[in-house]
Amino acid sequence: MTFPKVRVPYLLLFPGFAFLFTFFILPIVNLAQTSTQTPVKGGDTGQYEQKFAFGNYITAFTENREQFARSFIFASFATVLALAIAYPLAYAIAFKAGKFKNILLVLVVAPFFTSFLLRTIAWKQILGEEGFVVPGLRSLHIIGQQTTLTSTSIAVVAGMTYNFLPFMTLPLYASLERIDPRTIEAAGDLYANGITAFRRVTVPLSMPGVVAGTLLTFIPAAGDYVNAAILGSPNTKMIGNVIESRYFKIVDYPTAAALSFTLMAAILILVTLYIRKTGTEELV
């Protein structure tokens, strides 16, 4: 059986579209329906009916605006720290590693070989009293003898930075690795010193990797709840923790769905503004 050539591209797209429709579009539609439901009067816990109560969004946001703000603040700090760590690392791998380049790339990806939960729990031990960080900082008189790092915002941001660091490093490396070394040599021929060549040539050419890395880090970090649950305290709860609690503990599905939609909308707006500001619309 043969198909007209005009239909072949659509047939090739059908499996991917069917997957997206089943596992993305349908859940999003169901989430939208759930977000406007109200409890059934006289019903059991977890029973809701569709009343198109759009006020759920206003209520959900006003009651959890502190967690929303904390999520974006933590995600921003983690993204900036990850960029500060990943850029020199990616630069060294791309230009200075030589024959060790593949080994270093494997080491960057190696954390993915273990569970996300195990890596986060390991950070709880590293930053705990039994770790080397707190005793070292105390011996240097940077923190007091009674100061701890666990169950603090510092621990949450540190865990997020570590867990999402590969998402920042790999796009940066891919962008830096594509830079033609002759362009940097040309900057030197035009009497630019190393710092000037880096600032005027390397950084602009690596901006697609910077934008991609910051997006891949910020977006999952803003919705993360594992690091806050394990490394934080009730005072460091993020919006992901609230959504998880509403779904599985309080069984308040409409509020959880409204919070999820609000989070998605806020991230979408921020990402759009960020891409427009950086002038890299072609990445989307």
Question: Using CA atoms, how far apart are residues 67 and 160, in angstroms rounded to an integer?
Answer: 16
Average pLDDT, the chain: 90
pLDDT(192) > 80: yes
Report the alpha-carbon angle 142-144-145, nearest 5.
125
* Contact assessment for residue 228 and residue 240, using Cβ atoms and an 8 Å cutoff: yes
pLDDT(281) > 60: no
Cβ–Cβ contacts within 10 Å for residue 17, how many? Answer: 11
pLDDT grade for 282, boundaries at 50, 70 and 90: very low
pLDDT(276) > 90: no
Does 27 fall in a domain? no
What CATH number does the domain containing 93 carry? 1.10.3720.10
pLDDT(279) > 80: no
pLDDT(212) > 70: yes
Does 170 fall in a domain? yes
Global pTM value: 0.89
Does 8 fall in a domain? no
Query: What average pLDDT does range 208-230 have in this prediction?
Result: 94
Question: Using CA atoms, how far apart are residues 155 and 218, in angstroms rounded to an integer?
Answer: 17
Secondary structure class of 217 (helix, strand, coil)? helix
Does 162 fall in a domain? yes
What pLDDT is attached to residue 8? 78
List the beta bridge partners of residue 150. none
What pLDDT is attached to residue 6? 62
Does 76 fall in a domain? yes
Q: Name residue 25's amino acid.
A: I
Does 67 fall in a domain? no
What are the start-end ranges of the H helices in 152-225? 153-177, 181-189, 194-197, 203-205, 207-222
Secondary structure class of 131 (helix, strand, coil)? coil
Question: Using CA atoms, how far apart are residues 213 and 170, in angstroms rounded to an integer?
Answer: 8
Range of the domain at 150: 72-283
Q: How many domains does the chain have?
A: 1
* Contact assessment for residue 71 and residue 239, using Cβ atoms and an 8 Å cutoff: yes
Does 217 fall in a domain? yes
DSSP calls for 15-32: HHHHHHIIIIIHHHHHHH
Does 14 fall in a domain? no
Burial 44-59 (b: 16+ CB within 10 A, else e): eeeebeeeebeebbee
Query: What average pLDDT does range 136-141 have in this prediction?
Result: 89
Strands (E), 16-96: 37-39, 48-50
Cα–Cα distances in angstroms (integers) from residue 163 to residues 114, 149, 191, in the given order = 11, 18, 41
Query: What average pLDDT does range 228-243 have in this prediction?
Result: 93
Query: What average pLDDT does range 33-58 have in this prediction?
Result: 88
